[in-house]
Amino acid sequence: YNSIYKGYKLSRTYCQAFAFIGSVSGIGAGMTNVCIAYDRYKTISNPLEGKLTKVKALIMILCVWIYIMPWAVLPLLEVWGRFSPEGFLTACSFDYFTDTFDNQMFIASIFTCSYVIPVSLIIYFYSQIVGHVVNHEKALKKQAKKMNVDSLRSNVNQASQSAEVRIAKAAITICFMFVASWTPYGVLALIGAFGDASVLTPTVTMIPALTCK
């Protein structure tokens, strides 16, 4: 509708709702990927005790919502930061153009909490998975060589471990897509808040907005 009329034609309420939903879903996706990475790490590194229970899953979900809500509610109420139209004025998001110290601190904080921290945790957990799998395989091969056998794995254990590794690979792919899609937008927000905002034309700002959506 906005694209047809070449500008934001809906009310301010729609703009706020659009940005609020985008904030919840975007930051929520990052933290959910962290939980997935943590679950894969615990399951693969400690298969006997690392299985995810319903209670643990509910706690994770609750923690994700507690973590993301302030970053959506505060700008919605304009307590810290605010939402405004962006790009070709067809969508709304965080205001990263207002040149005030308060707004710059908001952008820096939300960039750290919604991008840097999730990405760092994701990289940590998956690097631990890779390290565990490599070390485990080395240990098995070393022991098998000592015992003069081809493998110490049973067919059941091998299939189970293989399934877990396949799931981890799929999760890594999803997380890579998350990082690839949100990195341009994070850089855009930092340039708008701290850099030369004159380079951020409507066309330039729309490209990262589209990649993250």
DSSP, residue by residue, the chain:
-TTTTTS--S-HHHHHHHHHHHHHHHHHHHHHHHHHHHHHHHHHH-TTT-PPPHHHHHHHHHHHHHHHHHHHHHHHHTSSS-EEEETTTTEEEE------HHHHHHHHHHHIIIIIHHHHHHHHHHHHHHHHHHHHHHHHHHHHHHTT-S-S--HHHHHHHHHHHHHHHHHHHHHHHHHHHHHHHHHHHHHHHHS-GGG--HHHHHHHHHHH-
pLDDT (average), residues 147-167:
59
The answer to whether residue 155 scores a pLDDT higher than 60 is no
The answer to whether residue 156 scores a pLDDT higher than 50 is no
CATH number listed for the domain at residues 12-212: 1.20.1070.10
- What is the pLDDT at residue 61? 95
- pLDDT band for 1, please (50, 70, 90 cuts): low
